[in-house]
Amino acid sequence: MHSAGRILRRKQGMPIWAIVAIALLMLALWNWQLVVATIAGVVVMSLVYVGQDWNWSSLILRWQRLLNHPNRQFTVAVVAGAVAVCFTYMVAAIWHGIDNHWLASAGILQLIATLAVLGLLFKQAIDKWIETQRSNVDALVAQFTASDDLERLIAVKQLAQHLQQQRLPLNQEIAIAQYCQVLLGRETVPAIQDAALEVLEAINYKQIKSSAN
């Protein structure tokens, strides 16, 4: 495959990307809908493939922190305005592109229903993820009061590892920092004290303390 490409490049004196671009241009002149559909399929396939390696937990938490930012009103207003512009443009394009207004109305209603379902599914997925994360962390925190030293050590260690891998909502991190402070004040096992300090270090206790104040 690579040798054929080098031979073709030497014979025609042009790079492979130029040949592909010319082929797509000729195909677009013949059937542009097919080209658009092919490009859309390739883009979606690439996004799905690359998106599997993304840290979705970090992205969700960044979005959640953005909404809790002091300037969240401005951020929400900008996002809402951008969505309104895109939606209005699509509605106008459907209405202008279809002569039959009944069909245009049906297309607009279908678009609204599709966007509403996608938004609902996205919200449910985020809420479920947040609830799962909160339940896992709460289960570990509940082990802080265990009578067995090993159980407390395992719980604090697992919580430290969890926080090192991904962040939590700010209010939850503040609560965990308070729990660890109380644990340090009453704990006599050095290993558990060190693990509690690892938790405070993982959530950057000084930073969240200033944020809380």
pLDDT (0 to 100) of residue 8: 46
Distance separating alpha carbons of residues 47 and 49, to the nearest angstrom:
5
Convert the pLDDT of each residue in 6-27 to its tens digit.
Answer: 544 444 556 676 777 777 677 6
Higher local confidence (pLDDT), 62 or 86: 86
Return the residue matching tokens 């939590």: 168
Higher local confidence (pLDDT), 56 or 90: 90
pLDDT (0 to 100) of residue 72: 64
Higher local confidence (pLDDT), 187 or 73: 187
pLDDT (mean) for 78-93:
81
Crossing angle, helix 205-212 and helix 170-186, to 10 degrees?
120
Instruction: Give me 88's structure tokens.
Output: 């209005």
Please check whether residue 33 is in contact with residue 25, taking contact to mean a CB–CB distance below 8 angstroms.
Answer: no
Convert the pLDDT of each residue in 159-174 to its tens digit.
Answer: 888 887 776 777 788 8
For the chain, give me the number of helices (H) and strands (E)? 9, 0
Convert the pLDDT of each residue in 24-83 to its tens digit.
Answer: 677 667 766 666 777 777 787 887 777 666 666 666 666 666 665 566 677 777 777 888
Crossing angle, helix 56-67 and helix 72-97, to 10 degrees?
110
SS3 189: coil
